[in-house]
Amino acid sequence: MRWVAAVTLVLALACPTVAVADPQPVASVTVGCPGAQVPPGPPADEEKADPPPAPLPWPPEPVGGPQMGACDEIGPGGGPELTAASWVLADLDTGEVLAARAPHARHRPASTLKVLTALTVVRSLNPDQVVQGTAEDQAIDGSKAGIGPGGQYTVRQLLAGLMLNSGNDTAQALARSMGGDGPTLARMTDIAREVGALDTRPATPSGLDGPGMASSAYDLAVLFRVAMREPLFAETVGLRSIPFPGYADHPGFVLYNSSKLLANYEDTIGGKTGFTEAARHTLVGAAERGGRRLVVALMRGEQTPVPTWKQGARLLDWGFELPATTPAVGRLVDAAPVPPAPPPVADLAAGRTLALRPVPPLLPVSLGVIAVTGLVIGGLALRRRR
């Protein structure tokens, strides 16, 4: 019947269909390890907040490649025994990850966070800018470089105090020079996001525990790799000692690098360690041998039966012994991953089955469409009567 065909035509215009490819199966990828979205408890008193900070979200896919979502060890077997709950071994230049254990598990970074602080400093301050020490700097908790009220220090000298002697006092002075803790932490957070360190949330400029503090072995390796491209940072972390100014009636002195990796492992080109009761022992550092540079990061380690620096050294030794053809299990990124664009619709030439699916109507299914349909049917009926 002709009126049926006309109705069908009108409805087709109102709600057309389009050929789209059948969905393809997607391989299962582990994004976040169970229980590892936030650092393990118990929380330090300094971390308690009301309300507590929400956990950092897991990204849609593991940063650095699918295998970086692993919750256990990945890479070639035969590596050294390590106490660290999470670690990464990677090529400092190419970014290829050679082996890892739970690389994206979130832990407290302790003073290894100072790598991010230093990176923020070299990108934000003139190294020859002069900063005056305060009594508040001197009274800060934890390790200190030895600045005091009335002392005059260049940013370059404070950076040395930050990295060589893990000075929380110099971290505070540098943060004050960048506008205070709030703006400094905001800038640190921006840089972490910019370079793809999405597990990292700084809570203090020094790495002392604070609400929401988190990082990962993967992020520490990423941050150290990016920081080593800054000449001032690379020069500073490789120093064994430096003359340091005094203050008031306190004379100047020699500031020594406290890194045992630098002191005992001759191939070391720089590194940073950290410790708090809640974080346990952390380490990030790099070494060069035979024209090849490797970076290691260890989190939540213990000093027994082997000191953390020696565990890092053994991991580096093993990495240098691996053949150059060892396949990478992932990659240290240089920037935050860009979400993938939706795949294009395939056509028949691609050899995939196409299915017809409705799409939004060209004309709204409304009284207007119903009226047009009624007019068509009425017209056809009138012609039949005539």
Which residue, 71, 74, 77, is CA-closest to 31?
71
**DSSP-assigned states of every residue in 171-235:** HHHHHHHTTSHHHHHHHHHHHHHHHT-TT-B-SSSS----TT-BB-HHHHHHHHHHHTTSHHHHH
State the burial class of residue 162 (Cβ atoms within 10 Å of its Cβ: 0-12, 13-18, 19+).
Answer: buried
Characterize the bridge pairing of strands 130-132 and 152-154: antiparallel
Secondary structure letter of residue 365 according to DSSP: S
Secondary structure letter of residue 34 according to DSSP: T
One-letter identity of residue 275: F
Burial 233-247 (b: 16+ CB within 10 A, else e): beebbbbeebebbeb
CB 112 within 8 A of CB 283: yes
Angle at 24 between CA 18 and CA 29, to 5 degrees: 140
* Catalytic residue numbers, as ranges: 111, 114, 166
CA distance 6 to 10: 6
CB 17 within 8 A of CB 356: yes
Q: Which residues contact 60 (CB under 8 A, 6 or more apart)?
A: 31, 339
Asked whether the CA dihedral 108, 147, 242, 231 is positive or negative, the reply is positive
CA distance 145 to 136: 14
How far is CA 196 from its chain centroid?
5
